[in-house]
Amino acid sequence: HNVALALGHTITGLFIGFSFLTYVSLALIPVVFLVAEYVANTQAGLLWNSVGVLTTIYFLVTMLHLEKILRLQFGDKHLFQQKLAEAVAHNRKADSILNHTLKNIMAD
């Protein structure tokens, strides 16, 4: 169950946060290597295709890592803003209580 959830999150995460053209360029990397091999006629198709696929995998893993970092940064920023708003609200409440206490003391 956890493996399926992690896999689903990873696959969903591939399509969030990056533009469509980024994915198109990733998909075209092996094609470019294959065309370069065909044009150069080096008969090293497996080598060029392997380099293209490995390059694609490298950039895909890098993108996933970057997405994870951005999500963590966004979460931290949101949590900080939430805690700051709570602290300001508590501070205002404490100031109000202190002001009322001082007014009552001064009135006596």
What pLDDT, in 10s, does the model give residues 27-56? 777 777 777 777 777 666 666 667 777 777
- Where residue 70 falls among pLDDT bands split at 50, 70, 90? confident
Q: State the pLDDT at residue 86.
A: 94
Tell me the H-state helices in 16-44: 20-40
Contacts with 32 (C-beta within 8 Å, 6 or more apart), sequence order: 52
Give the integer Cα–Cα distance in Å for 104 and 94: 15
Evaluate if residue 1 carries a pLDDT over 60.
Answer: no
